[in-house]
Structures are given as C-alpha cells and as structure tokens.
A = this chain, B = another copy of it.
C-alpha cells in the first residue's frame, strides 16, 4: 500500500547495498576499528569543516540519545529539552533509565526558546536551594524538530551562546538532519552545527541508510572511554564497518544532500496538493513531515488507500495527521496520493 507513514519504511539507497555486496567477504577489524569507518569519519570531518571532530557510529536514534546524554552528564545532572522533545516523550524513559532527569521547557512548535532557556538556567543558579535539585548539565534540541520545524541560524547561535555562558554542552538530535539541511530557505549548514553544537548526530536510519547514526563531538570533547560506555549500554556493533560503509557512501559525492533534497521536493508537492484541496495545515513545516488537520470521516475514507499517522486529536471531529516523505519517495507516489485526496 501507498505509504507516507514514516521515513523508515524501506531499506537503503542502492549504492549502499551494492557496496555491501562488494565488501561482504573482505575481512574487517571489529567494533569500528576498520578502514572503512576511518574513511567515513574523514569524509564527515570534511563535510563539517571541523578537523578535530571525533566521530562514533551508532545503530539507532534512541540508543544514540541515551548513550550520548548518559556519557556526557555528571550523575547529578539532567538534560534540558522541550516538553515535546523525543527524549522527553517517545523513548520509553531511556534517559531516566540511565539515572538522569529530562528537565522540560515549553516547546514552541517543537523548539526551545533561547530566552526561556536562559531564564530557566538563571533561576536554577540563583535558587538558594539548587543543591537539592537536578543540575542542568546539557541542552537537547532536535533539527528538524519532532514537528518538522527548523531553527534559524540566529536561533541556533543564541541557544549556543546561552549554553556557553552557563558552560553546558549543546546537543543536537539530527535523526532527520538531511531533511533540515536541504529545506528551502534554511540558513543552517553542517559546518554551522559543528560550530555551534558541542555534539550532534547525523541521522542515517531515516535518510538513506539501513540503520545508523553518526555522532559528532566537535570540541575534542568525546568522553574518555566512550567506547566502553557504548558497550556498557549494549550499543557496540561487532561489525562496525557496516555503519562506516553506509556513512562513507552517503558522504561521497553529496549523496546525503541529494537524496535529502528529494524528500523536500516531494513534501512540497504534498503541501501543494493539500493546499489545493483546501486542507488546513496544523504547522507550516518546511521539511519532510507535514501535519494537516483532517475530518475524522475523511481520515476513515483515506486510511484504506494510503498509510499515514494519526498524530493527536485536534477537536471532537478532527485529528492532526502526519504525512512523511523520504529519500525514497517518488513523484508517482504523490500522484497516486492526489487521486485519493
């Protein structure tokens, strides 16, 4: 069935699979100590324009968030995030399982506001009782956010400055990073992330890979014995070269950007179709996730023809629905969708 349910419903870009075939029986060192990982790291450092970047490949998003956060925080610290952040609501308490609190700020279409962040940190440090509280030890943001929205470069810089002034690292969840970077009109680039974030990850699972996320520590700040902590949390892949191979391919000849752009183009087509049919937009998202407000009856009808997500109830008769495109979405899919709208 035609599906816009998510951006992780199919496999990988064919170049990745082909290369896997090629390399399949070549002996590699275990746990990411292989030459393919080295090559991939080099390419990512170049793409980030950050020579000192330290890179580690992990398998999935929740795993990455949990490992990065729990290995960077002191045990008396928590991570600050929007109430709607993935780490706050959709990771089954993975952060808390490692002993750390998620300190929630209001979410504005998924985004943290630099002013509110600054106020929160100021209030904490001025509170005479703060030794009885969880110390804010990291700030978590996502780009694109869970609502498909983007931080402008100015917003990113401001958040980064707040973090710097309180001496806590800024961590950016880039599960769908390619779609953010290729969004029309964004003024944020990969080197900007390397400049303003202390650590971020480049999502592979949702952007052309079978699986895999590339964690980038940008300030020579990878925690000591990071690999041991990855193992301790069950995230060390024996055949780490499989991760390296995927990122090496994605960061060759701009593949990551090109396939990301496809998702944006397809999302624009979807927006245009929904606009034509008069659907109400819940958020005007500039990336590959689109949120519309639909009559429940219309949903019932559409559901048998095309897969998509029910996001949350809007009112008694209407629901917010999500349509997602990906690197693999084709124009024909949109045309088919159009016929059902």
Residues of A within 8 A of B (CB): 1, 3, 5-6, 8-12, 14, 17, 20-21, 23-30, 59-64, 66-67, 70-71, 74-76, 78, 89-94, 96-102, 104, 127-129, 131-135, 205-206, 210-211, 224-225, 227-229, 231-239, 242, 307, 310, 312, 328
- Of chain B, the residue at the smallest CB distance from A75 is B229
Q: Which residues of B sit under 8 angstroms from A102, Cβ to Cβ?
A: 101
- Of B25, B29, B60, the residue contacting A234 (CB under 8 A) is B60
A11, B20: Cβ atoms closer than 8 Å:
yes
Closest to A206 in B: B238
Do A76 and B60 touch across chains, with their CB atoms under 8 A apart? Answer: no
Task: Beyond the given A11-B242, A135-B228, please list 5 additional residue pairs across the A-B interface where CB-CB is below 8 A.
Answer: A11-B239, A60-B237, A78-B96, A91-B132, A96-B96
Given A62-B234, A93-B232, A233-B94, also A10-B27 (CB < 8 A): yes
Determine whether the beta carbon of B76 is less than 8 Å from that of A133. Answer: no
Which residues in B have their C-beta under 8 angstroms from that of A205? 238-239
For the residues of A in contact with B, the DSSP-based class is loop
Check B25–A6 contact: CB distance below 8 A.
no
Partner of A30, one of B8, B67, B91, B234: B8
Of the candidates B9, B21, B94, the one whose C-beta lies within 8 Å of that of A232 is B94
Contacts of A99 in B (CB 8 A): 93, 96-99
Query: In the complex, which residues of chain B have a beta carbon less than 8 angstroms from the beta carbon of A94?
Result: 231-234
Q: How far is the CB of A166 from chain B (nearest CB, A)?
A: 15
Task: Establish whether residues A134 and B96, one from each chain, have CB atoms under 8 Å apart when the complex forms.
Answer: yes
Per a CB cutoff under 8 Å, which of B29, B134, B224, B239 touches A93?
B134
In the complex, the chain B residue whose C-beta lies closest to that of A234 is B63
**In the bound complex, do residue A239 and residue B225 qualify as a contact, i.e. CB atoms below 8 Å apart?**
no
Residues in B neighbouring A100, C-beta threshold 8 A: 93, 96
Residues of B within 8 A of A239 (CB): 8, 11, 205, 210-211
Q: In the complex, how many angstroms separate the beta carbon of A134 from the nearest chain B beta carbon?
A: 4
On whether A227 and B131 interact (CB within 8 A), knowing A60-B238, A205-B238, the answer reads yes
Q: Which residues of B contact A127 (CB under 8 A)?
A: 312
Q: Are A78 and B90 in contact (CB-based, < 8 A)?
A: no
